[in-house]
Amino acid sequence: MKTARQITLDLLIRMDTQGAYSNIILDHAFTQNDADRRDKAFSAALFYGVLERRMTLDYLIRYYSGIEFDKIKTAVVEILRMGFYQLLFMNSVPDSAAVNESVALCDYCNSTKAKGYVNAILRTFLRNEKQIDYGNLTGEAKLSIEYSCPKWLVKKWNSELGEQRAMQMINSCFGRPPIYARVNTVRYTVDDVIGELESEGISAAKNSLIDACIELANTKGIEQSSAYKKGMFHIQDISSQICCKIAAPVFNETVVDLCSAPGGKTFTCAEIMNDRGRIYSYDLYDGKVSVIANTAKRLGLTIITAAENDATKFNPDIPKADRVICDVPCSGLGVIRRKPEIKYKPMKQLETLPDTQRKIINNAAEYVKPGGTLVYSTCTVSRTENDDIVDEFLKEHSDFVPVVVPLNIKGLEDSYKRTMLPCDVNGDGFFTATLRKVK
């Protein structure tokens, strides 16, 4: 059986060479390995920690290494990242263990010749009392290395959010996010669900900001719980639940959810409507459509029709709706603490997204009834994908006007456009804009 550090090293090498999604490969690794809960917790903390702090760790490797970074074997780079991370950020790990276990990993990955090299680098760092010398770095360049956030992203958030909010956003990228669920109020009360979950060893607590929102802990095996199988809840971040509150569907209305997968907004809207009316839930991929349909069945929600559809193109078979939700594909900068690798994507990879977002919101407008509501949303914090898209849409669509849906949530009260940072509601970074069709 592999040790926790061996599991972590394998995962990091795979991330480095294959560009996989961190959450998916971690879940897969744990289902394939019989490590105990404590080892899995350590492995997950080390894995995500190394991803979160990669730029800081690489700065240290470059500083202490006598070999050019690009010439260091991939596995050895990951071993050094793990070693530096344990020394700097894992107080529970003795310094001697961090060094010795890193050296031992060289044998595991057939890099025996690197043992002395790894040992020397980490012990020199210890002799220097773990101090990081930033040299001549100042301002945004220093922040970039210190907080492991690309310089372009530091500059972007400073410009768009202001320095204080930008630092809140940068800091929010570390650590694991809370896990939220939405109670299926069509069939159960919040107290029913909390009681059922706690009887199975899963901690659940009411959220003070959103009705029927609960925060979960000790969620291992939750999909095998009786509460899950009974359809008592579905997993959905609080920010996404707030988006549904802003959409504010009413029973007997028609709702279209254009970019629905995995379906959280569809299910919450159905529950808000007390399973009365019609919801048409679409996604580009058939496999994701099946997930939506199967979850709706598990929850016992009967008003949902799930189907395959390209949201960028007009589909005459989609009915006119009272509410249209388009949670468009985006850069995901609001969910970095779920997928730390997102922040290392080159800025150029994100530049094509507004074209797709523009096509979707323009197409979504075609499905809104006169007097109906269009909700545009993303899980990113980026003016070019959020405010600019909505501002441009309003300039080109005189038949739509901004509308403010009141929210009794501090900081999110009165605006038709709302940017939610993780520090605002302890959820994902999120954006919503609410527009009404007047003719």
Kindly list the catalytic residues: 379
Q: Please name the amino acid found at residue 392.
A: E
Residue in 361, 257, 354 with CA at minimum distance from that of residue 309: 257
143 and 171 Cβ atoms separated by less than 8 Å: no
Is 326 among the annotated ligand-binding positions?
A: no
The contacts of residue 174 (CB under 8 Å, 6+ apart) are: 52, 53, 337
The contacts of residue 331 (CB under 8 Å, 6+ apart) are: 342, 345, 350, 353, 380, 382, 385
Is 387 among the annotated ligand-binding positions?
A: no
Is 261 among the annotated ligand-binding positions?
A: yes
CA contacts within 13 A on the Cβ side of 31: 7
CA 100 to the chain's CA centroid? 34
Strand 368-378 and strand 430-437: pairing?
antiparallel
Is 259 among the annotated ligand-binding positions?
A: yes
45 and 8 Cβ atoms separated by less than 8 Å: no
Tally of CB atoms within 10 A around 118 = 20
Is 264 among the annotated ligand-binding positions?
A: yes
Is 36 among the annotated ligand-binding positions?
A: no
Is 286 among the annotated ligand-binding positions?
A: no
Is 260 among the annotated ligand-binding positions?
A: yes
CA contacts within 13 A on the Cβ side of 8: 27
- Binding site for S-adenosyl-L-methionine: which residues? 259-265, 283, 310, 327
- Binding site: which residues? 259-265, 283, 310, 327
